[in-house]
Amino acid sequence: MINLTIDDKKIEAPDGATVLEAARLARIDIPTLCHDPRMKPFGACRLCIVEIGGLPRPVTSCTTPATEGMVVVTTNSKLERLRKTTVELLLSDHPNDCMVCIQAGQCSLQELAYRYGLRENRFKGAVRQHNRVDNNPFIMREQDKCVLCGLCVRVCDEVEGVAAIGFANRGFESDICPPFKKDLDCEFCGQCVAVCPTGALSGKMWAGQPRLEQTRSTETTCTYCGCGCNLTLHTHADKVVRVTSRPDNHNRGWLCVKGRFGYEFIASPERLTTPLIRRQKGGPLEPAGWDETLDLVASRLTAIRDQHGADAVAGLASARCTNEENYLFQKMFRAGIGTNNVDHCARY
């Protein structure tokens, strides 16, 4: 354990913690833009600056290890002035687009502009223009909204292990080149989209749908593979409009392309919407009412059992459906029909 003082508060932090981590443990707020606890510190945005007793200049708290006896100040008029200037510089070449930006309400930059009351900008200048058309169905890129925090580059490299994104050029012309310069490697997991603090990266399928704040959230579990990732389904008007995942769950908020972007089937016009009965062999399947259909299923299955024995009936359960459904299904065959002929098709 390390003992240090932050803003006059005595704090105990675990060994190896950074000043930022120690402050967050003590619920002391330090603004950040390029930090994500799931990745290595980067030190790019300089919003997390703090003063440390004995050091001449402010340092970035996300990259500075906490040490025994350290005395830290996270806020004073000088630090706030520096932070405000940093945000002003970021806004100087940022399009004033919040009104129509998909990220409004969730955007870290917008939040900082609000916090520092930045309406007019002292540094108004050229806005970088480097949007380009991307031919992929998932990821929308508005490069002029990029604040070069590097989170997307790092998540793709450190977490996904793909490194499909890189930095191109330097300085004002710096440019994040996601999926599309090294197109072939991208797995469309959308990790980069999930960590982007601004509207620079978003889901193409989300465009024109309600923003996150207008949606209702439901916590659930992915329907695809055995990883069992936790999902948050965002719905609006009885429709799933976006899928996200919380960073504090067992999959740490990471998802794959299926979990993140594979939700359109839910509202597919091809969904079955009514019971169907084939009234004679070889004939068509015709719509029918529930009562009639359920009666028919029960009577045909019991008739077969009564005539040919319980073992002439069988059920195939589903590795895709819930435990409760599977339990009741096997119970129906064992206790209701009287056979152990129940299996599921995917025993692997």
Partner 1 sequence: MAGLATKFGSGAMTNSVEGISRNKALFVIGSNTTENHPIIALRMKEAVARGAQLIVADPRRIPLVKFATLWLRHRPGTDSALLNAMMQVIIAEGLEDKDFIAARTEGFAEFAESLVKFTPEFAEEVTGVPAEDIRRAARIYAGAENAGIYYAMGITQHTMGTNNVMAVGNLAMLTGNLGKDAAGVNPLRGQNNVQGACDMGCLPDVYPGYQKVALPAVQAKFEKAWGKALSPRPGLTASEMTGAMLEGKLRGLYIFGENPALSDPNMAHSIKAFNALDFLVVQDIFMTETAELADVVLPSASFAEKNGTFTCSERRVQRVRAAVSPPGQARDDLSIIHAVCSRIDPAAATSSAAPAEIFAEVAALWPNMAGMGYDRLDGDGLQWPCPTADNPGTPFLFKDSFPREGGKAVFSVVPHVLSDELPDSEYPFVLTTGRELFHYHTGTMTRKSKGLDAVAHEPFIEINPSDAVGLGIKDAEMLTVSSRRGAIRLKARVSDIVPAKVVFIPFHYKEAAANMLTSDALDPICKIMEAKVCAVRVEKAAA
Quote the DSSP letter at residue 50. Answer: E
Residue 148, contacted partner among ligand FES, partner 1, ligand SF4, none, CB below 5-8 A by kind = ligand SF4
For residue 157, what are the contacts with CB-CB under 8 A and spacing of at least 6? 163, 165
> CB of 111 within 8 A of CB of 31?
no
Least distance (Å) from ligand SF4 to the CB of residue 224?
3
- Scanning residues 11 to 50, which ones bind ligand FES (CB under 6 A)? 32-35, 43-48
Contact of residue 230 among partner 1, ligand FES, ligand SF4, none (CB under 5-8 Å per partner type): partner 1
Site for ligand FES in 47-86 (CB under 6 A): 47-48, 60, 62
Minimum CB distance to ligand SF4 smaller for 223 or for 302 = 223
Q: Shortest Cβ contact with ligand SF4: which residue?
A: 259
Report how far residue 27's alpha carbon sits from residue 30's, in angstroms, rounded to the nearest whole number.
Answer: 9
Q: What amino acid is encoded at 307 in this protein?
A: Q
CA-to-CA distance for 334 and 24, rounded, in angstroms? 55
Give the residue ranges of DSSP H helices in 32-161.
77-92, 108-115, 151-154
Nearer to partner 1, 8 or 264 (CB): 264
For partner 1, which is the closer residue by CB, 109 or 186?
Answer: 186
Cα–Cα dist 170/24, whole Å: 32
203 binds ligand SF4 (CB under 6 A): no
Q: Which of residues 49-78 bind partner 1 (CB under 8 A)?
A: none
C-beta of 126 vs 348, nearer to partner 1: 348
* DSSP state string for 166-226: EEES-GGG-EEE-TTSSGGG-----HHHHH-SSTTEEEGGGTTSPPGGGSEEEEEE-SSST
Q: What residues from 261 to 280 belong to the interface with partner 1 (CB under 8 A)? A: 261-268, 270-278
Nearest residue (CB) to partner 1, 7 versus 157: 157
Q: Which does 179 bind (CB under 5 to 8 A by kind): ligand FES, partner 1, ligand SF4, none?
A: ligand SF4
Closest CA to 212 of 178, 180, 166, 246: 246
Which stretches of the chain bind ligand FES, using CB under 6 A? 32-35, 43-48, 60, 62
